[in-house]
Structure 1
Amino acid sequence: MMPAISRTVTKVSTFSAWLSSICLLGMMGVTCIDVTLRFFRHPIPGAFETVGFLGALMVAFALADTTLKGGHIAVEFLVEKLHSGVRKWLDRITTLVLILLFGLLTLRMGGYALELKEAAEVSMTLKMPVWPVVAGICGGLGLFVAVLVTRLTRSV
């Protein structure tokens, strides 16, 4: 049962990384086009908003896959001096704290997305609904928590 869940989380994380890449390409495209059009005195209205939304989504969508691949920066000059058994327990405790912290953050972001949807909150320039962006961030964080849970269950 657990290997199937782990495989599913890995596949969804890979898909999420592709979404993150698309967000990055969108950010680059909007920025390049906006800078070029500014030269001709016709900037893109809402370019700053769009790049901000895409940046937030890019980070949220990249968290899970980066964690699976061990791509985060780690400063281990103290930890590497510890006994391997102590390091394993420290990693488990750190992962558990991350699960709790980001689990609560995911729940709060989901609630905030619902609040924004009910209030019909829109962005200042583009007047587009904000809740889908917050919901996307919530999804990325939730997937990150799922990756952490599968990592913790594998280490036990």
Structure 2
Amino acid sequence: MEETSGPLGVTEKAMRIIAAICLAAMAAMTGADVFMRGAFNMPIFGCEEIVSILGVIAVGFALPYTHYQKSHIGVEILVRRLPQRTRNVVKLATNIATLALIAVITWRMFLYAGTLAESGEVSMNLELPEYMVVYVLSFGFFVYSICLVMDIVKFFKVKGD
């Protein structure tokens, strides 16, 4: 794993911990809901909404960690057979294309969250403000885009040395 240092490293680590807590909370909520339904025929009100929100946070906050772990899906069987120089070019092109896509997604999600805030959109059962979840997710994508920028900068620093 490529450990990052400084503010980005601290942010990534905090996001990783929050994502893990969200996953554990999802499992606990789901288990409690199943138990309550089976034992007492009383489901936990709003459990589906809470689990969905926790899932969104877990996915958004796990993106930087997944990037540094190289745990994302790749076409390794093809790329592995290429010469090292070509693999480096493919990696750079992939990072640039991913950055472009993630930057657009981040920007549009941030704008969408603002639209949701203006409209007062809330969740169906618990009436939680949906814009907050979208802001949190856009933050996760924003940090992921910074990680991509850092990788691109590092690529050119290594090539320049």
TM-score higher than 0.5: yes
One-letter code of the match for 1:27?
M
Match of 2:14 in 1: 15
Superposed CA RMSD: 1.3
Q: Is the 8 A contact 1:13 1:65 kept in 2?
A: yes
Identity over aligned pairs, percent: 33
Structure 1 length normalisation: TM-score?
Answer: 0.93
Q: State the distance in 2 between where 1:125 and 1:55 align.
A: 17
Measure the CA separation in 1 of the matches of 2:11 and 2:75: 28
Ranges in structure 2 where 5+ consecutive residues have no aligned partner: 157-161
1:19-45 Cα shifts (integer Å, max 9, x gaps) = 101111111111111111102111011
Query: Per the alignment, in what secondary structure is the counterpart of residue 43 of structure 1?
Result: coil
Q: Which amino acid aligns with 1:120?
A: G
Amino acid at match of 2:144: F
Equivalent residue pairs, number = 152
In 2, Cα distance between equivalents of 1:104 and 1:61: 18
> CA deviation digits over 1:66-118, x for unaligned, max 9?
11122223331111111111110110010000000000000000001111111
Q: CA deviation at 1:155?
A: 0.9
Structure 1 SS opposite 2:77? coil
Give me the TM-score of the superposition, normalised by structure 2: 0.90
1:133 and 2:144 correspond: no
CA distance in 2, matches of 1:80, 1:33: 45
Residue by residue, what CA displacement relative to the aligned partner does 1:115-140 show, whole Å, maximum 9, x if unpaired? 11111110001111111111110000
Question: How do 1:72-151 residues align onto structure 2 when only pairs under 5 Å count?
Answer: 72-151=72-151
Task: Give the Å deviation of 1:6.
Answer: 5.5
SS of equivalent to 2:128: coil
Structure with greater contact order relative to length (CA < 8 Å, sep ≥ 6): 1
Structure 1: gaps of 5 or more residues? none
